[in-house]
Amino acid sequence: MGKMLLLSFENSEDDVISEILSILENKQMKIYENRNMKKCLEFQGLTINAEKRLAVKGNKEIEFTFTEFEILLLLAQNAGMVFSKEKIYNIVWKEPYFGDYNIVMSHIRNLRGKIEDNPSKPIYIQTVWGVGYRFNKNLSSGL
């Protein structure tokens, strides 16, 4: 005879399932991130130091907000991997997001303004139309 588990929730079933999937996805990403942790990432003209939480472009140190640096680090440590706005939010904010992803787009725009020579034609943080964002792995000199 099989076992059956009966659960009762205050929230809607869709919300609960979405939250469970988000938690599982975050755990998967943490495993992936830990495998790819490097203290210093080198990209053409851009160095990102995870331990010191700073980035240098040319000879100039770039200042970031906490969230901007978290997004930059996530993308750079996983260069070439595409992240949806939802996945970026779930990982960086460490909670599932049920709303408008313009906050992620706003942070990406700010990041591009700080690290790109021409933010309207980005070479570091690329848009994958209809999917999300990725860091350009072709610029890596150490990955």
DSSP string for residues in 32-100: HHHHT--SEEEETTEEEETTTTEEEETTEEEP--HHHHHHHHHHHHTTT--B-HHHHHHHHSSS---S-
Domain ranges for the chain, please list them.
Answer: 13-139
Q: Does domain 13-139 have CATH number 3.40.109.10?
A: no
pLDDT value, residue 95? 81
Q: Are 133 and 88 in contact (CB under 8 A)?
A: yes
Residue that is written with structure tokens 């610029």 in the block: 139
Q: Say if pTM beats, i.e. exceeds, 0.85.
A: no
For 5-56, what is each residue's pLDDT tens digit? 666 666 676 776 667 777 767 665 555 555 455 678 989 889 999 989 999 9
Does 60 have pLDDT greater than 70? yes
pLDDT value, residue 7? 62
pLDDT value, residue 46? 94
Q: What is the C-alpha to C-alpha distance for residues 62 and 114, in angstroms, rounded to an integer?
A: 7
Q: What is the C-alpha to C-alpha distance for residues 22 and 97, in angstroms, rounded to an integer?
A: 9
Does 120 have pLDDT greater than 90? yes
